[in-house]
Chains A and B, each alone.
With several copies, the nearest count.
Chain A
Amino acid sequence: MRVSVEITRRPEIADPEGTTIMRALADLGHRDIEAVRVDRVIHLDVAGDDPDQVRARVEEMCRQLLANPVLEDFRVEVDE
C-alpha cells in the first residue's frame, strides 16, 4: 500500500532554511510572503492490505526513525 508521511517541524522550533528562502524570495521581488516553512514528505510502499495495520506499523517507524520527536511531528496517510 502507498503511505505518505508528512513530517512537520514543531512551530516553536526555528527554521533557518525557511527564513533564508523567504529572504531570497523577497530579493526576487516577492515581498508579500509572510512565512515560509520547509517540511518533508516520505512516501512508502508497504506490503500488506489492512489499512489500520499498515498505518500502525508506519506510525511505529515514525517514532523509531522517520521523525525526530524532539523537533518534529508527523501525520500518516494511507492512500489505498
Chain B
Amino acid sequence: MRTAVVVFPGTNCEKDVVHALTSLGGEAELVWHRETDLSRFDGVILPGGFAHGDYLRTGAIARFSPVMAEVGRMAAAGAPVLGICNGFQVLCEAEMLPGALIANRDLAFICRFVDVEVTDTSTILTRNATLGQRLRLPLNSYQGNWVDPGSDARVTLTYLDNPNGSQGSAAAVSNAAGNVVGVMPHPERASEELLGSGDGLVLLEGFLQSLVPA
C-alpha cells in the first residue's frame, strides 16, 4: 500500500504529511509534479502549500502539471485522492471537486485551531469517524472560503464557528463517490497531542484504510 504525496513548486506541507502517515504505519513517497506514472501507488495526497505561489488563482496553474492526468485517472478508478488546503484548491480547479475557493471573508490569513463536525462518514477521509463527531484541527489558509452556487455537493466536515465565510460552513467536501476529498484544515498538523491535538489521526487512518492494491 503506497501513497503518493505530490510536490508542486511551492508546496510546503509534503514532509509533514509523510511524517504523519508513516507514524501511522503507512508508506508514503514524495512525487515531483512532472511525474507521469503513478501506477506504483494506491492513493494520492495533494498536500498544503502555495503551488506556483498561488498566482492567478490558487491551484489554477498546478492543475496543469503533468502529474494531474494520473491523479485524475486514479480518482476515476476509485482510488483515494485527498487534497489538503492548497491540495483542495487544486482539486477544485481541476474540476475533480465541485466549487472553488476564494479569499477569507475578513481578507486575512488564518492560522489557528478550529472545531469541525463530521457530517458524512462515507468518504475515504471520514470512514473511521462517527457522524456528528467534533474534531479540533489547525486551519492555515488565506483562500479557505469555499463557494459553489446552487451546490448539491457532499459536505464532509463543517466548521462549528465559520471562520472564513465558507458556503454552508464547509470545511471539507467530496465528490459523489466519496473517494476524492478536499479538506481545508490540516489533519497532519493534528497528529500528536504534543502539537495541541491528535484529532487528525482518525481522518488519516481512514485514508490509509481506504487504500486497496491497484
Give CA–CA (A68, B55) in the complex, Å: 13
Q: Name the interface residues of A1-56: CB closer than 8 Å to any CB of B.
A: 10, 12-14, 16-17, 20-21, 24, 27-28, 38
Digitize B129-152: 1 where CB-to-A-CB distance is under 8 Å, 0 elsewhere. Answer: 000000000000000010111000
User: Which chain A residues lie closer than 8 Å to B64 at the CB level?
Assistant: 24, 27-28, 65
Residue of A at shortest CB range from B56? A21
Instruction: Give the Cβ gap from B16 to chain A, nearest Cβ, in Å.
Output: 25
User: Which chain B residues lie closer than 8 Å to A13 at the CB level?
Assistant: 102, 147, 149
The answer to the question of B68 belonging to the interface, with a C-beta cut-off of 8 Å to chain A, is no
Give CA–CA (A6, B128) in the complex, Å: 46
Interface size on B, residues (CB 8 A): 23
User: Which chain A residues lie closer than 8 Å to B145 at the CB level?
Assistant: 14, 16
The answer to the question of A66 belonging to the interface, with a C-beta cut-off of 8 Å to chain B, is yes
Instruction: Give the Cβ gap from B127 to chain A, nearest Cβ, in Å.
Output: 28
Q: Name the interface residues of B177-191: CB closer than 8 Å to any CB of A.
A: none
Let me know if A24 and B102 touch, CB within 8 A.
no
User: Which chain A residues lie closer than 8 Å to B55 at the CB level?
Assistant: 16-17, 20-21
Let me know if B102 and A14 touch, CB within 8 A.
yes
Let me know if B147 and A16 touch, CB within 8 A.
no
Give CA–CA (A42, B161) in the complex, Å: 31
Give the contact stretch, choosing among B37-45, B104-112, B116-124.
B104-112
Instruction: Give the Cβ gap from A7 to chain B, nearest Cβ, in Å.
Output: 9
User: Which chain A residues lie closer than 8 Å to B100 at the CB level?
Assistant: 68, 70-71
Residues of A within 8 A of B (CB): 10, 12-14, 16-17, 20-21, 24, 27-28, 38, 65-66, 68, 70-71
Given A13-B149, A68-B93, 6 additional A-B pairs, CB 8 A: A17-B53, A20-B55, A20-B107, A65-B61, A70-B147, A70-B149
